[in-house]
Structure 1
Amino acid sequence: MLDHFATEFTTRYIDTADAEGQPLERLERLAMLVATDERPDAERAVRAWATQSTEVHEVQAQIDRTRIEYLRGLCQQLAATPEDSSQMARLLHLVLIGVQHSNPPVTGEELRVLYAFILRKVLGDDQTLDEERR
Structure 2
Amino acid sequence: MVGKRDWLDAGLVLLAEQGAPSVTIERLTERLGLSKGSFYHHFKGMSGYRTALLEHFEAERTTRFVAQAEQAGGDRLRTLMDLVTAPGPAPGLEIAVRAWALQDAEARTIQERIDRTRVDYLTEVCGDAELGRALYLVVVGAGQVVPPLSGRRLRSALELVLGRTR
TM-score by length of 2: 0.65
Overall identity of the aligned pairs, in % = 39
Gaps of at least 5 residues in structure 1 are 77-84, 124-134
- Secondary structure, aligned partner of 2:94: helix
2: CA distance, partners of 1:98 / 1:4: 23
Structure 2 counterpart of 1:81:
none
Cα deviation for residue 119 of structure 1 reads 1.3
Structure 2 counterpart of 1:12:
64
1: CA distance, partners of 2:120 / 2:84: 17
Relative to its length, the structure with more helix (as a share) is 2
Structure 2 counterpart of 1:65:
116
Q: Within 5 Å, give how 1:1-134 maps onto structure 2.
A: 1-22=53-74, 25-39=75-89, 40-76=91-127, 85-123=128-166
2: CA distance, partners of 1:21 / 1:12: 15
Compute the RMSD of aligned alpha carbons. 1.1
2: CA distance, partners of 1:37 / 1:56: 25
Give 1 or 2 for the bigger CA radius of gyration: 2
Cα deviation for residue 37 of structure 1 reads 3.9
Cα deviation for residue 51 of structure 1 reads 0.3
Cα deviation for residue 104 of structure 1 reads 2.5
> In structure 1, what residue type is equivalent to 2:110?
V
Does the aligned pair in 1 maintain the 2:65–2:83 contact within 8 Å? yes
Cα deviation for residue 90 of structure 1 reads 0.6
Q: 1:11 to 1:37 in 2, by over 3 A?
A: farther
> In structure 2, what residue type is equivalent to 1:98?
G
Q: Which portions of structure 1, spanning 4 or more consecutive aligned residues, are displaced by more than 6 angstroms?
A: none
Does the aligned pair in 1 maintain the 2:72–2:79 contact within 8 Å? no
Cα deviation for residue 26 of structure 1 reads 0.6
2: CA distance, partners of 1:120 / 1:18: 23
Gaps of at least 5 residues in structure 2 are 1-52
Cα deviation for residue 36 of structure 1 reads 1.2
